[in-house]
Structures are given as C-alpha cells and as structure tokens.
Amino acid sequence: MRVATTASRLKPLPQGRSYGREFRADCLDPSAATGSRLKPLLHGRARKSAGRMFLWGLAASCALAVGITSAAGVPFPSEVPQGSLVIGKVAPGSEVRYAGRSLRVSAEGDVVFGVGRDERGPVSVSVREPGRAAALRSIIVTPREWPAERVVGVPPKTVEPPPAVAERIRREQARVSVARSRDDARADFAPPFIWPAKGRISGRFGNHRVYVVEGRDVPRPPHSGMDIAVAEGTPVKAPAAGIVSFADADLYLTGGTVLVDHGHGVSSNFLHLSRIDVKVGQRVRQGEVIGAVGKTGRATGPHLHWGLNWFDVRLDPLLLPGIRE
C-alpha cells in the first residue's frame, strides 16, 4: 500500500498517568526528600513538624506534576490530546461516570475511558469517593492536526463495493462491534503496553483517508488505527494481556482479524494478518504471539494495522504509555 502524507504533529503532552511515570524522584520517594533536605537543618520536634509541613507542600507540588484536578487528590491528567486512552486512579469503591456511562473501578482503583478523535472538550468526569459527595474533574482536550493520506493501489471494489459486498461488510462489522461491547472486570490495560511489532509507521491514526480509484479521489472515513510496515510473516505479539474476543481469517476489508479485550471496554484489533494463532476465549499474556503480519483484505502490501478502542470509541495506540514516540 502506497500512502502519501504529511506527518501528524502532536502538541507536547503533560506528564500524568496516561503517558508514563516521568515524575520527580521526590514524588516517588518523599521520605528520601525529607531526609536529605531536613536532616542537616533540624532536630527533634522541630524537625518532625517541619517534615509534616514539607510533605504537605510536596504533595501539592506532585499533584500539579501529575495533573491532579481535584481537591480530594484523585489523579487524572489535566489535559489530553484527541484520541487518548485516559487512565486514572481513584479510591477503591468509588463511583465514576463519564459521557453518561458508569465506569468500572478495579480493586486497586484503576479507571479508564477514551477521548475520541473529534472530541473538542473540555470533558468532565464525576467521581464519588466512599463517604464523600460527588465531584467533577474537568480535563482539557488539546486539538490535533489531521493531514490527508492518499492511498494508491487498492482494488476498486474494496473502496466502492457492490451492494452484495456492502451487505457482507455490514454483517462483519456488526460482529466486530459486538466483540467491542465487552465490559470485563479485568484491568489488563493498566500496565504499560508494548509494541505488537516494530517497524516504520506507514499510516497514522485519525488522518483523513483518500483512495485513488481509476484516477479519481474517493474520500473515506479517517484512519481508525496505526499501520506498521513490516515484512509478511513477522510475528504479531499481544501488546497487553487479555482475552481473545474475536478471530476470523477472512473478513472482506480487514482480512485476518483478531481482537484482544484488555478489560473495562478497552480492546486492541490487529488486521490484515496472514496467520492467526489464537482462538476466541483464549487468555493471552503480554508479548505472546497471536498471529503473523500479512496483506489480506484491503491492502496492497504487508503491514500490521493496530487499532485501539474503548467500546466503540476509536483511539490512537501511539499515545499509550510505553508506546508514544
């Protein structure tokens, strides 16, 4: 597949749980900070009192560093780019709502939701911690640029399918949508993700897609994932643990297709596979091989399409912790 595009530019990201843990060492080990800064200066009760004051100040400083937006100290990033998976931490037993949906909270307090490609924001999250009144957390959504990608060389009937083929595509996509509706209690999304395959990024999430068909430009919906150009047969690894929720070797548009559910509505999809090594219902570990790169479906060359969803909200895998360039 030949794609001509200009690079999608991202604004710098704030530091927070959604983008990794690049925090000050003091935030990770405040005892070390109090020891190193206070021991040479104070002794006895004065040192203990000053230590408590220092820790309160340090906590406030660290709250700002990780994007905490609530007086109760519930960490969410203060801003996220469009297309982000947002992972927060709340008190276990909290009630959390976003976009009219009640969100699962893991036993460790992990909570997750997705901010779509076209979300303008700010978005609000309602958090009711045990024994507290509900409070709203506001998150700024930073806009991104979405260049056009012109794709040359795909079969015309995959871009403008005849009625019978269009009906087949509709049925197949309905099956995929059912798989994406799972809401398991597992929190496999919480640890940092890994790359399912390493290679050149040949197509980016969210960019406008224009297919060239017999000399005509045919606009189609924005790209739903990230394309990684690698050789046919390259092993595809699970970027996070999960349960295989869908596997089919012959979908019309996406060819060999696998979905891995990571819990709480988060799922990864892998398209155009030449081989599928897993079955529906199978538990996979992070890094386990689930198939091989191919060029099945609407593709003119071998590549891996990796998509990320929160239920039916499409997200950018490139923004995941452990993945971002």
Give the 3-state DSSP-derived string for 185-217, with helices as H, strands as E and coil as C: CCCCCCCCCCCCCCCEEEECCCCEEEEEECCEE
| pLDDT for res 325 | 55
Domain with CATH 2.70.70.10 in the chain: 145-319
Q: Which of 206, 202, 220 is CA-nearest to residue 144?
A: 206
**Residue 64 pLDDT > 50, yes or no?**
no
Q: Helix, strand, coil: what percent of the chain each, to 5?
A: 20, 35, 45
pLDDT digits (tens, 9 = 90+) for 174-222: 999 999 999 999 999 999 999 999 999 999 999 999 999 999 999 999 9
As to burial, measured by CB atoms within 10 angstroms (0-12 exposed, 13-18 middle, 19+ buried), residue 316 is: buried
User: What is the rounded CA–CA span in Å between residue 270 and residue 250?
Assistant: 13
> Residue with structure tokens 């994406």?
180
CATH of 145-319, one of 3.30.70.260, 3.90.1150.60, 3.40.50.12160, 2.70.70.10: 2.70.70.10
**Average pLDDT value for the chain:** 83
The rounded percent of the chain whose pLDDT value lies above 90 is 73
**What is the identity of the amino acid at 195?**
W
Mean pLDDT of 156-179: 96
| pLDDT for res 50 | 46
Q: Which residues contact 66 (CB under 8 A, 6 or more apart)?
A: 15, 16, 17, 23, 27, 75, 77
- 3-class secondary structure for 297-309? CCCCCCEEEEEEE
User: What is the rounded CA–CA span in Å between residue 228 and residue 299?
Assistant: 12
What backbone torsions phi and psi does residue 159 show, to the nearest 5 degrees?
Answer: -100, -40
Peptide bond into 92 cis (omega under 30): no
Given strand 148-152, what is the order of strands in its sheet? 2-4, 148-152, 208-213, 216-220
pLDDT digits (tens, 9 = 90+) for 253-309: 999 999 999 999 999 999 999 999 999 999 999 999 999 999 999 998 999 999 999
Q: pTM for the full model?
A: 0.78
DSSP 8: P
DSSP β-bridge partners for residue 150: 4, 210
| pLDDT for res 322 | 82
Range of lowest pLDDT (25-34, 97-106, 204-213) = 25-34
Region 25-142: CATH code: 2.60.40
Mean pLDDT of 91-111: 96
Q: b vs e for 64-91, b when ≥16 Cβ sit within 10 Å of the residue's Cβ? A: ebbbbbbeeebbbbbbbbbbbbbbbbbb
Range of lowest pLDDT (64-78, 117-131, 164-178) = 64-78
**Residue 102 pLDDT > 50, yes or no?**
yes
Using alpha carbons only, give the angle 268, 248, 212 rounded to the nearest 5 degrees.
75
**Residue 62 pLDDT > 50, yes or no?**
no
By DSSP bridging, strand 275-276 and strand 304-310 are unpaired
Contact predicate 258/278, CB 8 Å: yes
By DSSP bridging, strand 200-203 and strand 208-213 are unpaired
Domain with CATH 2.60.40 in the chain: 25-142
| pLDDT for res 29 | 38
Instruction: Please report how many Cα atoms fall inside a 13 Å half-sphere around the Cα of residue 204, on the Cβ side.
Output: 22
